[in-house]
Structure 1
Amino acid sequence: MGLEIKKSEFTGQEFERFTSKLFHNLDAFQQLLQRPGFGEGDATVGAELELYIVDDQGRPLPVNTQIQKELGDPQLTLELNRYNLEYNLTPVAVSGAPFSLIEREILSVLETLNQLARQHNGRVVPIGILPTLQRCDFGLHAMTDLSRYHALTKALAEMRGETISIKIDGPEPISLRANDVTLEGANTSMQMHYRVSPERFAASYNAIQLVTPLVLAISANSPFLLGNRLWHETRIPLFKHAIDGCGHNSGKTGEPDRVSFGHGWVRHGAYELFAENVYLHKPIIPVCRRESARRLLAEGQIPSLFELTLHQGTVWPWNRPIYDPGDGGHLRIEMRALPAGPSASDMMANAALTIGLAEGLCHRMEDIIPALPFHTLEYNFYHAAEKGINARLMWPKGPREQLTRLPAVEIVKELMPIARRGLHAAGISKTEAEHYLGIIERRLDANTNGACWQLRQYSRLSRSMVKRRALRCLLEHYIENSLQNRPVSEWGNI
């Protein structure tokens, strides 16, 4: 959905043409996967960092278009709402010190963007959901004026109704109604891209699915929406409700949700995930190119599979398979569940833990899958989002891999040696592994993360301040700590 398109209204003939090309692309993708040497190459890791722009009062500042034009960097793109930006960080080789390289780039990008934002009396901040948001910050007036977002709003309205309901429980439950997708724009994330070979794809994808609830629990950073205390990672239900609609229940209607944790363990490889999305989900943005995937394949070239990749961008699993025609064509796994923030060092520690655990457990997936039903894994994911670092998850334990309910913190602590081995096996230096896993270990020892810190500070401040002032004060100290790039385990009380 990063593609800019020229219109937001489409004819039935355009949908028919797109659907035809979509299935042709799927056939071509299957052929590509069978081509000797396809997808081979060194593993890489990259990231997309989404950011808020706020003014000197900690309120959303709608100047993303101006900042993008002033920077003139193609890696900086516009997000759904006018107070959000996304920076596409440079992919790096996994071997060596990849997380340090990305962290340095994040810090450089934040410094540059803050310099530009200051010209508009603003700042940028990496945070899952801005705690100072108000209802007036949403609506068509807040949406970035690009055709793709107008097309998305129209398509989703036709799919699940003009008005959607958003109901999220928690200490202060919230119930909202909306006519557009801008509430989804409240979510900002750090999306990691991990390149894997086709032959390892199934095991790698399943391993990443397995560990996502664990990392999500100890990385939560989105406890507020419109000033209400909700889930520790409120991004998860908010995104689902804003896209699929709160009233949509696949268990009752039989219809697949476009936002999901998936439909089961992967059995064979990447093809089945792409095929699922083609067969289960109707196209909503039918933009075509003239490219013939069949002709390019016959000529020994690599097709872009434009329609297939565009369609993938309109389905939102929390871990998404990616096809990229670059570098001879390759596959990636996009990890979309983790929030932006609190600091660059925290985000890279989360990435290191995810990849370390996935690499360390990858070879054990055939033994783990029978012991952990997919619906239990899905439960782990949503429970981790709701309870955060306090979550108790179902986990195979003991010589017979018996499912046991355990604190997420305890599970991660026990798996740290596996994460270390996984990082070393991926070619990551011992110094790099120790640095970032050390950040995780100190976070576990302190029993805190971004969500815990925000909730703790709000509890203290709200004793002497009204809600809006307490949230604003909380945010100011959050920004100060974040800009200093201090891991959240080291953040003190206000």
Structure 2
Amino acid sequence: MGQQITTASFTDEEFECFRARLLDNLQSLKQLLQRPGFGVAPPSIGAELEMYLVDRQARPLSINKTILERSGDPQLALELNQFNLEYNLTPVLAAGRPFSLLEQEMQLSMAHLNELLLPEQGYVLPIGILPTLKRSDFGLHAMTDEQRFSALSRALADKRGSLFCIQIEGDEPLSLRARDVTLEGANTSFQLHFRVTPAQFADLFNALQLVTPLMVALAANSPFMLEHKLWHETRIPLFQQAIDGRSAEECQRAVPSRVDFGSGWVREGAYELFAEMVHLHAPLLPVSSEENSLAVAAAGGLPALDELRLHAGTVWPWNRVVYDPAQGGHLRVEIRSLPAGPSAIDMAANAAMYIGLAVGLQSQINEYIPALPFGTLRSNFEAAGQKGLTAELMWPHPQQSQGLLKQPVTDIARSLLPVAKQGLVQLGVENSEIDSYLSVIESRLDQGINGAIWQRREYHRLCRKLQPHAALVQMVQHYRQHLEENRPVAQWR
């Protein structure tokens, strides 16, 4: 979706041409994946950090284009709403000290942005959903003035044929209707990119899927939306509903959503995920390139697959396969389930735990798949979003012949810490790095505190002397103070 879109209206001929090119791209990709040596390189890690721009009253500042122009930083990018920006971190090799490098770059980028926001007395805030948002902060007036965003919003609205309806259960249930997708812009994430070879893709992707509910529970940081106390990770239902382009009939007939946990365990490799995107989801933005991908691939070249990459940018599974023609062409998994925040060290620790667990479980994944039905895994994902660290998940009994056992997510995560360490050792991460970041996770489990629980507790404490809105404002201000100290959330007062 970073591609420039110059119009929001398309002809039937443009859609027909785009669909044909998508099918050509799929065939070209199949040839590439069969090419010896394609995508083979040491594993690397990248990330995108989405942030709020916030004023001293803890309210959103809608000046993302102004800050982008002041910065001139090519790693900074606009987001859907005017009060959000995204920083694209420099990819690093997985061996060595990758998580320290990510943590340091996050700190430096946030400090630089805070300097740029001094004239407005503002600051950047990595937090899943800003608790002080109001309904008036959303609508077309809030959307960043970029054709690609308005074209996407119009395409989804036209496809749906009715208002976007959002209903989220929780302590204070929330019901909303919208004509556009700007409510989705309330979500900010810390999205990891993990480079994977084609031969290892299926097992590693399945392992990432397996541990995603655990990581959502450990990292939850979005307990409020529009001053309503909802899920521990409210981004999950909000994203799924705020950008759902399905009609009412398609929902009733279980047509897959563009935002989904997945349709099942991956059986062979990356190709089937790209094929699902093409065959299950109609194009929204049919912008075709001049490339003949089949001819390029047949000649031994490296096709850009522009149509496939653009189409993949309009489908948002929580773990998404990515094809990138850079560096000789390669595959990545984009891990989309983690919220932004609370602190840089927390986000780096989340990355270490997530990737370490997946690599550590990769060799065992074919033992887990028959023991954990995919529907149960999807249910675990929802439960983790609802309850966070207090969730109980269905997990294979240690003696797998005894079936599934309902267990506290904290017990499961604690039992898997050695597996995460094993996975990081396998990647070549330095021992001091492993111990440092896994100790952050272990402390979170010991204290029973993540970002969502800290926000809820701090809010309730402040409500003893303040009205709810004032309590949320002060809670955000306290959050910012702890963020700037860059201590793990388990140590926050």
TM-score (norm 1): 0.98
Distance, in Å, in 2 between the alignment partners of 1:363 and 1:403 is 20
1:247 deviates by 7.8
Partner in structure 2 of residue 360 of structure 1 = 360
Instruction: Give the letter aligned to residue 335 of structure 1.
Output: I
Letter in 1 for 2:384: A
CA distance 1:249–1:95, shift in 2 (3 Å): farther
Contact 1:165 1:246 in 2 (8 A): no
Partner of 2:441: 440
Q: Which structure 1 residue ranges, 4+ long, deviate > 3 Å from structure 2?
A: 245-251
SS in structure 2 of the partner of residue 88 of structure 1 = strand
- Aligned partner of 2:380 in structure 1 is 380
| Paired amino acid for 1:145 | D
Cα distance change, pair 385–461 in 1 and its aligned pair in 2 (3 A): same
Does 2:153 align with 1:156? no
Question: What's 1:237 paired with?
Answer: 237
Residues 38-63 of structure 1, C-alpha deviations (whole Å, 9 max, x = no match) = 01011100000000001111100001
In structure 2, the partner of 1:131 is 131
- Distance in 2, Cα, partners of 1:107 & 1:183: 28
Tell me which residue corresponds to 1:224.
224
Stretch deviating more after TM superposition (115-124 or 176-185) = 115-124
- Deviations 1:74-131 (Å, cap 9, x if unpaired)? 1100000000000110000000010000111000000100000112221100000000
- In structure 2, what is the equivalent of residue 341 of structure 1? 341
**What residue is the counterpart of 1:456 in the other structure?**
457
Q: For residue 487 of structure 1, what is the aligned residue in structure 2?
A: 488
Secondary structure of the structure 1 residue equivalent to 2:86: strand
Superposed displacement of residue 161, structure 1: 2.3
1:293-332 to structure 2, matched below 5 A, reads: 293-332=293-332
| Equivalent in the alignment of 1:25 | 25
**The residue matched to 1:321 in structure 2 has which SS?**
strand
Q: 1:408 is matched with which residue? A: 409
Aligned mates of 1:239, 1:400 — CA distance in 2: 34
Q: Is 1:80–2:114 an aligned residue pair? A: no
Question: Is the alpha carbon distance of 1:282 and 1:443 closer, same or farther for their aligned partners in structure 2, counting shifts above 3 Å?
Answer: same
Per-residue deviation, 1:162: 3.6
1:183 equivalent in structure 2: 183
> Any idea what the Cα deviations from partners look like across 1:1-39, whole Å, max 9, x if unmatched?
122211111111111111010000000000000001101
Which residue identity is paired with 1:296?
V
The answer for the alignment partner of 1:428 in structure 2 is 429
Contact 2:395–2:406 (8 Å) recurs in 1: yes
Note the C-alpha offset of 1:357.
0.6
Question: Equivalent residue for 1:49?
Answer: 49
Amino acid at match of 2:100: S
Superposed CA deviations along residues 335-371 of structure 1, whole A, max 9, x for unmatched, are 0000000000000100100111101110011111000
Kept in 2: contact 1:164–1:246 (CA 8 A): no
The code of the aligned residue for 2:80 comes to L
What SS is found at the alignment partner of 1:327? helix
Whole-Å separation in 2 of the counterparts to 1:172 and 1:247: 27
Q: How far apart are the structure 2 equivalents of 1:221 and 1:243?
A: 21
Task: Number of aligned residue pairs: give it.
Answer: 492
Superposition deviation, residue 249 in structure 1: 8.0
Instruction: Kindly state the Cα deviation for residue 254 of structure 1 after the two structures are TM-superposed.
Output: 3.1
Distance 1:451 1:277 in 2: 32
Report the secondary structure of 1:183's partner residue: helix
1:428–1:33 Cα change, 3 Å: same
Most deviating of 219-228 and 162-171: 162-171
Whole-angstrom distance in 1 between the partners of 2:247 and 2:229: 22
Shift of 1:250: 6.0
Question: Partners of 1:294 and 1:366 in 2: how far apart?
Answer: 34
Q: Deviations over 1:311-344 (max 9, x none)?
A: 0010010000000001111000000000000000
User: Bigger shift: 248-257 or 425-434?
Assistant: 248-257
Q: TM-score, normalised by structure 2?
A: 0.98
Q: Is contact 1:213-1:381 (8 Å) kept?
A: yes
Distance 1:112 1:8, change over 3 A: same
1:215-273 CA-partner distances (Å, limit 9, x unpaired)? 11011000000000000000000000101169858673131111100000000000000
Contact 2:160 2:247 in 1 (8 A): no
SS in 1 for 2:117: helix
Matched to 1:432, the amino acid is E
The answer to whether the 8 Å contact 1:222/1:451 transfers is: yes
Partner of 1:194: 194
Q: Can you list the C-alpha shifts for 1:197-219, whole angstroms capped at 9, x where unaligned?
A: 00000000000000010011011
Farther-moved stretch of structure 1 (245-254 vs 220-229): 245-254
**Contact (CA 8 Å) 1:78, 1:84: kept in 2 or not?**
yes
Secondary structure of 1:211 counterpart: helix
Q: Structure 1, unaligned stretches of length 5 or more? A: none
The match for 1:122 is: 122
Pair 1:260 & 2:260 matched: yes
% identical aligned pairs: 55
Classify the secondary structure of the residue corresponding to 1:85.
strand
RMSD: 1.1
> Which amino acid counterpart does residue 479 of structure 1 have in structure 2?
R
